[in-house]
């Protein structure tokens, strides 16, 4: 019951943050903090969500660079999420797969 309540709260923060990102309000990037907090809650309680965020970091490297540059300004829970979803493992797995592939005949 408690985990379900936490996941619902995480999803509500993530959805509210994503809606506020594009809202014409005078506070710039007002939706970024709720979005990041929602993602942090979801990534700490849901392994599939954490892996999806890790895949997004791997696919769009600029997202990782932006988050790493701004990590010192974020709350602790967001810092932990960024560290846990670093795409290093996915890069290593891709390199291992590339090394196992047979070379094409000449």
Per-residue pLDDT of the chain (106 residues; tens, 9 = 90+): 888 999 999 999 999 988 888 888 777 778 888 888 898 899 888 889 888 888 888 888 888 888 888 888 888 888 888 888 887 777 777 778 888 877 666 6
pLDDT of residue 58: 82
pLDDT of residue 13: 92
Q: Which residues contact 57 (CB under 8 A, 6 or more apart)?
A: 63, 64, 67, 85, 86, 87
Run of H or E including 48: helix 47-59
pLDDT of residue 106: 62
pLDDT of residue 103: 66
pLDDT of residue 47: 87
Cβ neighbours around 27 below 10 Å, total = 8
> What are the domain boundaries of the chain?
2-100
Which of the 8 DSSP states describes residue 66? H
Q: Could you tell me the pTM of the whole model?
A: 0.69
């Amino acid at each position: 019951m408690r985990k379900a309540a936490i996941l619902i709260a995480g999803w509500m923060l993530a959805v509210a943050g994503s809606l506020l990102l594009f809202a014409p309000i005078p506070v710039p990037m007002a939706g970024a903090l709720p979005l990041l907090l929602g993602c942090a809650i979801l990534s700490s309680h849901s392994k599939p969500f954490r892996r999806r965020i890790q895949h997004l970091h791997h696919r769009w490297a600029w997202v990782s660079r932006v988050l790493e540059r701004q990590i010192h300004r974020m709350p602790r829970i967001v810092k932990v999420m960024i560290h846990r979803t670093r795409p290093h493992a996915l890069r290593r797995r891709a390199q291992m797969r590339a090394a196992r592939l047979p070379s094409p005949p000449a």
